[in-house]
């Protein structure tokens, strides 16, 4: 049986605003988070990530639905009674206190004996690799170091769940990478469930065991990074998780887990999808790196003829734009590997665009046609 540490059941949180009237920041959301996993809430600005985190932390109460922690309904429990801690985007450190006292603050307030405070603070400083910095003033620290103090301050309480709201947003690219690595290491070392809010899909993909993609207050898809990238459940997810090509198709046959789809006079085989049957309009989504350009059609998979209209060398890969089926543009990426003998294509070349039978995802037809 799954061991859920956090569960949201039909949770709605709405705000009344002067400008927009009622805004449903979180709209009948269901969400289950396993104990000990690195979980990310991912989505565009305004989709409800922070509100979801605040509902878990107890800074917001649901208008409808329940929040469970360890199976207990905590929907109306104040934050300090929940075994969760939050690291905010602005670290909210106390500027007049040194590193040690910033971390010890909560423990002192709860009357923890000095010897235990000493031990716990040292342990958490070690965990975030800030040993020997305990007497520095937080204002004299770099952004990355302040971030670590904020982390240590949350970890010192030994929460069951650590909530992180875009904790790396203020860091430059290099520090951000470093902190991502550190966070992952700390999560593994402590075994604490981490719930990270981010709008950076690469960050979510590289760090998480599970990702929930949010769209206008609900969970659009929940799965492993690989599921979400390779088998997006909707066009919204496919587009949000990097570059995707879309082709509108018509379903002509469904058999044995494979579906035959038609585009103009071309036929392709794609993995079937529940609910998409013969006769329906649909679309297929294919990642640029799954497309291969060749001079001859590859009979082992799907192929369509095209015309190269652009080729951009990008270092590790070359990105081609290919016009297919009249006016449609596809993006294909070839890795620039020394040992592969991909022919070089230039604008004006007639090519075949090929992809494997399992490389595309079948999606319900979207209102926006490409
Ligand atoms: N206290 C509030 N009062 C009014 N509206 C709010 C409040 N908090 C959130 N909202 C609205 O609810 C929606 C979701 O907000 P939320 O902060 O959860 O989004 P987010 O996904 O964290 O976005 P971002 O990536 O920009 O931080 C937005 O439309 C926001 O304006
Ligand atoms: Mg936010």
State the DSSP string of 228-271: HHHS-SSHHHHHHSS--EEEEEEEEEEETTEEEEEETTEEEEEE
Q: Indicate which residue's Cα is closest to atom 17 of ligand 1.
A: 50
- Which bound ligand lies closest to the C-alpha atom of 41? 1
Q: Give the CA dihedral 89, 94, 96, 97, nearest 10 degrees.
A: -120
Atom of ligand 1 nearest to the CA of 48: 18
Q: Is the CB of 24 under 6 A from ligand 1?
A: no
Residue written as token pair 């979980």: 39
Ligand 2 center–CA 66 separation, angstroms: 21
Q: Is 80 in the pocket of ligand 1 (CB under 6 A)?
A: no
**CATH 3.40.50.300 domain position(s) in the chain:** 4-237
Sequential DSSP letters for 63-87: SEEEEEETTEE-TT--GGGSSEEEE
Does residue 199 have its Cβ closer than 6 Å to ligand 1?
yes
For residue 46, which ligand has an atom nearest its CA? 1
CATH 2.40.50.100 spans which residues of the chain? 243-364
Which ligand 1 atom sits closest to the C-alpha of 17? 4
How far CA 247 is from CA of 128, 174, 237, 268, 360, in Å, comes to 47, 37, 16, 11, 10
Locate the ligand 1 atom nearest the alpha carbon of residue 47 and give its number.
Answer: 21
Q: Closest-lying ligand to the alpha carbon of 48? A: 1
Is the CB of residue 238 below 6 angstroms from any atom belonging to ligand 1?
Answer: no
Chain Cα centroid distance, residue 286: 19
239 token code pair:
């587009």
- Give the distance (Å) from ligand 1 centre to CA of residue 330: 35
User: Radius of gyration over alpha carbons of the chain, in Å?
Assistant: 25
**How many angstroms from the chain centroid is the CA of residue 355?**
26
Strands in 257-364 per DSSP E? 258-263, 266-271, 281-286, 292-294, 302-313, 317-324, 328-335, 350-355, 360-364
pLDDT by position in tens, the chain (length 370): 679 999 999 999 999 988 889 999 999 999 999 999 999 999 999 999 999 999 999 999 999 999 999 999 999 999 989 999 998 877 788 988 999 999 999 899 889 999 999 999 999 999 988 888 999 999 889 888 898 999 999 999 899 999 999 988 878 888 888 889 989 999 999 999 999 999 999 999 999 999 999 999 999 999 999 999 999 999 999 999 989 999 999 999 999 889 999 999 999 999 999 999 999 999 999 999 999 999 999 999 999 999 999 999 888 899 999 999 988 999 999 998 876 555 689 999 999 999 999 999 999 997 544 4
Check if 175 has its Cβ closer than 6 Å to any atom of ligand 1.
no
Other C-beta atoms closer than 10 Å to the C-beta of 200 total: 17
**How many angstroms separate the CA atoms of 157 and 190, rounded?**
12
CA of 165 to the centre of ligand 2 (A): 7
CATH number of 4-237: 3.40.50.300
- CA–centroid distance, residue 21 to ligand 1 (Å): 14
Taking Cα atoms as reference points, which of 203, 196, 211, 175 lies closest to residue 86?
Answer: 196
Residue listed under structure tokens 């604008």:
347
**Residue 221: which residues within 8 A CB-CB, separation 6 or more?**
212, 213, 227, 228, 232, 233, 234, 237
- Supply the residue whose CA is at minimum distance from atom 18 of ligand 1: 48
Q: Are 207 and 38 in contact (CB under 8 A)?
A: yes
CA distance 75 to 6: 11
50 ligand 1 Cβ < 6 A: yes
| Strands 193-198, 38-42: pairing kind | parallel
Give me the sheet containing 64-69, strands edge to edge.
Answer: 21-34, 4-17, 64-69, 72-73
Q: What is the pTM of this model?
A: 0.90
For the domain made up of 243-364, give the CATH fold: OB fold (Dihydrolipoamide Acetyltransferase, E2P) (2.40.50)
- Ligand 1 atom 1: the closest Cα is on which residue? 15
d(CA 42, CA 39): 10
């Amino acid at each position: 049986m799954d061991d859920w540490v956090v569960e949201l059941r039909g949770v709605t949180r709405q705000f009344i605003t002067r400008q927009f009237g009622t805004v449903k920041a979180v709209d009948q959301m269901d969400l289950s988070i396993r104990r000990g996993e690195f979980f990310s809430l991912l989505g565009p600005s305004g989709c409800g990530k922070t509100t979801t985190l605040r509902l878990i932390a107890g800074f917001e109460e649901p208008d409808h639905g329940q929040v469970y922690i360890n199976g207990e309904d905590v929907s109306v429990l104040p934050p300090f009674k929940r075994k969760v801690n939050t690291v905010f985007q602005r670290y909210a450190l106390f500027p007049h206190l040194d590193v040690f006292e910033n971390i010890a603050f909560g423990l002192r307030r709860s009357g923890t004996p000095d010897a235990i405070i000493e031990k716990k603070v040292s342990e958490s400083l070690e965990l975030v690799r800030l040993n020997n910095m305990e007497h520095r003033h937080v204002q004299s620290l770099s952004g990355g170091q302040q971030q670590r103090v904020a982390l240590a301050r949350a970890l010192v309480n030994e929460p069951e769940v650590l909530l992180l709201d875009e904790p790396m947003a203020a860091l430059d690219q290099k520090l951000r990478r470093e902190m991502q690595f550190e966070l992952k290491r700390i999560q593994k070392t402590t075994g604490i469930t981490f719930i990270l809010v981010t709008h950076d899909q690469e960050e979510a993909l590289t760090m998480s065991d599970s990702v929930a993609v949010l769209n206008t207050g609900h969970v659009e898809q929940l799965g492993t990074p690989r599921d979400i990238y390779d088998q997006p459940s909707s066009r919204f997810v496919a587009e949000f998780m990097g570059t995707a090509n879309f082709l509108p198709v018509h379903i002509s046959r469904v058999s044995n887990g494979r579906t035959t789809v038609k585009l103009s006079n071309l036929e392709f085989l794609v993995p079937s999808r529940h609910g998409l049957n013969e006769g329906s309009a649909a679309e297929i989504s294919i990642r640029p790196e799954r497309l291969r350009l060749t001079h001859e059609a590859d009979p082992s998979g799907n192929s369509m003829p095209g015309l190269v209209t652009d080729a951009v060398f990008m270092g590790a890969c070359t990105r081609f734009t290919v016009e297919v089926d009249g006016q449609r543009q596809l993006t294909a990426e070839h890795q620039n590997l020394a040992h592969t003998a991909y022919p070089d294509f230039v604008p004006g070349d007639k090519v075949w665009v090929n992809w494997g039978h399992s490389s595309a995802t079948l999606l319900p037809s979207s209102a926006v046609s490409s």
